[in-house]
Amino acid sequence: MNWIESFIEYLQYERNYSRRTTEGYQADLEAFERFYEATDSSLSWAEMPADIVRQWVVEMMDKGNAATSVRRRLSSLRSFYKFLLRRGLVAKDPVHNIPGPKVEKKLPTYVRETEMDRLFDGDFFGEDYQGWRDRMILLTFYSTGIRLSELVGMNGKDVDLDQMQLKVTGKRNKQRIIPYGDEYGDSLRQYLTVREAFARQKAAGDASLFLDERSGRRMNPAKVRDIVKKYLSMVTTQRRNSPHVLRHTFATAMLNHQADLQSVKELLGHERLSTTEIYTHTTFEQLKEMYNQAHPRAKTKGGNYGNQNSGNPL
């Protein structure tokens, strides 16, 4: 077994990383391996100059790779060398002092509250099981901020109607409890009644909270993405309409209504507060926009205030 395979097994069985994540690590490491072998066939993982890593970063940037992609691949390489150092397979880490390219921070895309209100108060959803399910999917994303994988993985037993809370399984199989309010609870009770009738009709024994209308089984993530895009496109003109946009929308709405940052962090299942802090920039931008629209002197009228006379004020 080569060193990359050993590292991937470590991620899978000791760190409990998902298959998709480990495949990403493997692809990144194999890309670097191809690069250094083409650069100098005498090189090996154990004898790797830092300059080779720098050349790899430069080549990726020259080929037009996004800074975020380059940083991710560099992070994969850094994690790999930490693993090799702990196992005593290498004597030094050539990635240690190599910074990734700077990434321009982009504010999260979110849907405005008025647009979300129009979606749920409007006549967009049918009265059959599919219509009830689609509405509940959108409402769950918006009311809880959970990830797509968390929603698709939810089972009926994860719903506690008495305590008004959901149990979700997040990254690395970490579970957390998310409370919900009266409006969501009322909709959830109605949906569960419709779901039960649908499951009986389909003779479906699947425990999933959300069932495919054709197979009666757990929904495919791609289909959930399509559902979200379909309905959000009815109420907003923005180009990005995905489950993750609804996660951003939940966080932004919570902060706009005075939720504290630590609480939003726990609800979203973030490991670090710094990850959640990006939403404070979103709410500040919204605040600036509201100010510019509402305040009578937010914008100049034909010149700079306080400097309307051409002469010296003194």
The CATH number for 62's domain is 1.10.150.130
pLDDT for residue 158? 96
Q: pTM of the entire structure?
A: 0.62
Both 157 and 250 in a single domain?
A: yes
In a domain, 98, yes or no: no
Question: How far is residue 264's CA from residue 231's CA, in Å, rounded to a whole number?
Answer: 25
* 133: annotated active-site residue: no
Both 55 and 129 in a single domain?
A: no
In a domain, 302, yes or no: no
- Residue type (1 letter), 80: F
Render pLDDT for 214-226 as a digit per residue (tens, 0 to 9): 999 999 999 999 9
Both 128 and 163 in a single domain?
A: yes
* 167: annotated active-site residue: no
């939940």: which residue's tokens? 250
pLDDT for residue 281? 66
Both 156 and 226 in a single domain?
A: yes
In a domain, 103, yes or no: no
The two three-digit tokens of residue 61, written as one number: 């940037």
Both 55 and 189 in a single domain?
A: no
> What total number of domains does the chain contain?
2
Both 189 and 243 in a single domain?
A: yes
Instruction: Give the max Cα distance, the chain.
Output: 88
Q: CA 169: distance to chain centroid?
A: 15
In a domain, 306, yes or no: no
The CATH number for 143's domain is 1.10.443.10
* 202: annotated active-site residue: no
Q: Which of 17, 129, 184, 279 is catalytic?
A: 279
Q: Which residues contact 31 (CB under 8 A, 6 or more apart)?
A: 73
Both 82 and 118 in a single domain?
A: no
Q: Which of 147, 195, 218, 265 is catalytic?
A: 147
Both 209 and 270 in a single domain?
A: yes
Both 82 and 123 in a single domain?
A: no
The segments of the chain whose pLDDT lies below 50 read 300-314
Structural domain containing residue 35: 3-86
In a domain, 180, yes or no: yes
Q: Which of 171, 176, 225, 240 is catalytic?
A: 171
Q: Which of 133, 135, 218, 247 is catalytic?
A: 247
In a domain, 171, yes or no: yes
pLDDT for residue 274? 80
* 147: annotated active-site residue: yes
Long-range CB contact pairs, 300-305, < 8 A, 24+: none
pLDDT for residue 120? 96
* 281: annotated active-site residue: no
In a domain, 92, yes or no: no
* 288: annotated active-site residue: no
Question: How far is residue 23's CA from residue 112's CA, in Å, rounded to a whole number?
Answer: 36
